[in-house]
Amino acid sequence: MKNGQKRPRIRPPGYRIPPSRPFLETFRANLKETFFPDDPLRQFKGESASRRFILFLQYILPILQWAPSYTFSLFKSDLVAGITIASLAIPQGISYAKLANLPPILGLYSSFVPPLVYAMMGSSKDLAVGTVAVPSLLLASMLGKEVSVLQEPMVYLHLAFTATFFAGVFQFALGVLRLGFIVDFLSHATIVGFMGGAATVVCLQQLKGILGLQHFTTATDLVSVMESVFAQTHQWRWESVVLGFCFLLFLLSTRYISKRRPKYFWVSVAAPLTAVILGSILVYLTHAQNHGIEVIGYLKKGLNPPSLTSLILSPPYMMLAMKTGIITGIIALAEGIAVGRSFAMFKNYHIDGNKEMIAFGMMNMAGSITSCYLTTGPFSRTAVNYNAGCKTAMSNVVLATAMMITLLFLTPLFHYTPLVVLASIIISAMLSLIDYEAAIRLWHVDKIDFCVCIGAYVGVVFGSVEIGLVLAVVISLFRVLLFVARPRTSVLGNIPNSAIYRRVDQYPAAQSVPGVLILQIDAPIYFTNASYLRERISRWIDDEEGRLRAKGDTSSLLYVILDMGAVSSIDTSGISMLEELKKSVERRGLQLVLANPGSEVMKKLDKSKALEKIGQQWIFLTVAEAVGACSFLLHTYKPGAVANGAVADDSNV
């Protein structure tokens, strides 16, 4: 040793490779971590049998948790909120049922039974249950391709009930099996583009009601709709156009007032029902139904008999209903959970996503056998419920009660409701879903997310709702694959007067270490990116050597340090890549050094004997320790001595 210096320890005291567990034990642990990361049933352990039973019932039926402490003051708040959302649910329910090509009365039924089920099983205090536009349109689009609602109305109706049943079964299964991560494949950018495209398509479909057309295309793409509109210019009804634009202006004005003055939120809430009442009175007094203004017509008073026997569970239509139910169920689930979580944040409480899936599944299964079609938690009703001051899910019970009274006594009053008013209500509701501001933010923040958003929008508007959804998911998955296959690598430098190493392109003050190239790998190393990483690291080495030559620097590059702190796992292809990289850099007179590899990486390197090839003495706990050891060796030994193996087998190093 020169000058009596001690060689640094390459590995920290007490260092050892983490012990490996048996395969089955590891497999079970990984499975549990994947599907049960925060298992709420763990709270039952250590309790008596009776206590466990009570806790289990409270977990399945959250109403048992808050009902015993429910007070009259809470009920007064929920009563006002329930009546408020009922005033919005009546016109929206009728409108969305027409959008799904179903009898308008089903929109009212769908706000009766499902809210009761959710009030017992849901974990959100604010979610208001009902039908929504996008699943309604999707239901009409997918079923309408195979079954004509005009030629086979009963088959179409029964398929709608069956699709709702399968949607409920699928949602329930996701909750029970704790597979909610499937919904996470619909990213924020995907939902923004998909909802915007679906809202555009819904608005285009309402041109039939605004223009007073009798026949209209069943296709949802922009080209087909425009062809259908301009091919029937001789059938446009000016009375319907004028009435539609007047009511649309009225609805948009009330929405603008409520947006500018939040304390007047009730103005936009009451506007749809007010439009229905005014439109019905106008038609009744002027007999406008005889002058080209279509009306809803007779609505059956009372409650429908159970629709259990209406479910189609045999070929040839069962697969169509199953496919429709699964797709619409995913969309409804994504919207409902996203809305519930958003409003839960405002009140600082937590909702269980898997419990919500079970609640949605149960309410749709119950709804399918009680003459209801697909329901979820729409944003508009939930926002109204929140602003109206709801305290618990009892507001859904009030909503269901109001709907029952409407079904038993008030349905004849909607006989003269003009369809053009319903079209105006749908358009005014859909315009808020076209979130162009969110798309602009995506463009400024992340161009790939913007492409995902635009891809979903274009797919829906120029193709179909299904094409847009599939395209959005494919683009999102392609982005994930792109990040895995092309991980980021960057050069690190030392922050002066510290042991901190950061990216030189992010921190201009970060300084390179003479004779050492420090590279950071920001992703696991798999077969998909092993070849790319080998080539990328070689290019970094070439660039560093070229930079030194261009500067006329007499020092040469001797060490390549890989910061593997972000490499959470590695497969056999990645291990082979490290072994090949070790040989490649040695042929160039360099030494490969690893810093901060994780426990899983170390286990696999040890099992594959790659540690022996790389050299355990070249494994360091931190980048700072690796740089310190390399710098020490550079100053202690002649250049190239380490790379040529002079101290490679020294046990003290």
* Secondary structure, 3-state, 2-48: HHHCCCCCCCCCCCCCCCCCCHHHHHHHHHHHHHCCCCHHHHHCCCC
Residue 448 identity:
I
For residue 553, pLDDT over 70 is answered with no
Q: Which two tokens stand for residue 628?
A: 């310190």
Q: Which residue has the higher pLDDT, 304 or 579?
A: 579
Q: What's the gap between Cα 282 and its chain centre?
A: 44
pLDDT in tens, 405-458: 999 988 888 888 898 998 898 888 888 888 888 899 999 998 888 888 888 899
189-206: pLDDT as tens digits: 888 888 888 888 888 888
- For residues 386 and 343, the answer to whether their CB atoms sit within 8 Å is yes
pLDDT-derived band at 653, boundaries 50, 70, 90: very low
When pLDDT is averaged across residues 603-620 and rounded to a whole number, the result is: 87
Q: Which helix (H) or strand (E) holds 593?
A: strand 591-595
> Is residue 132's pLDDT more than 80?
yes
Q: Is 507 helix (H, G, I), strand (E, B) or coil?
A: coil
Q: Specify which residues 130 forms β-bridges with.
A: 376
Burial of 51 (0-12, 13-18, 19+ CB in 10 A): exposed
pLDDT of residue 185: 67
Q: pLDDT digits over 460-516, tens only? A: 888 877 788 788 778 778 878 888 888 888 999 999 888 889 988 888 888 888 889
Maximum pairwise Cα distance, the chain: 109
The confidence band for 119, taking pLDDT boundaries of 50, 70 and 90, is very high
Closest CA to 119 of 172, 67, 55: 67
Pairing between strand 516-521 and 559-563?
A: parallel
- Among the listed ranges 204-218, 266-280, 410-424, which one has the minimum average pLDDT value? 204-218
Residue 223 is predicted with a pLDDT of 87
User: For the chain, which residues make up each domain, given as ranges?
Assistant: 2-13+487-636, 65-480
Using DSSP, state whether 162 is helix, strand or coil: helix
E-strand ranges in 506-583 read 516-521, 559-563
pLDDT digits (tens, 9 = 90+) for 344-399: 888 888 888 888 899 999 999 999 999 999 999 888 888 888 888 889 999 999 99
Give the CATH superfamily of 2-13+487-636.
STAS domain (3.30.750.24)
Tokens of 430: 């859909």
For residue 555, how many C-alpha atoms fall within 13 Å in the half-sphere facing its CB? 13
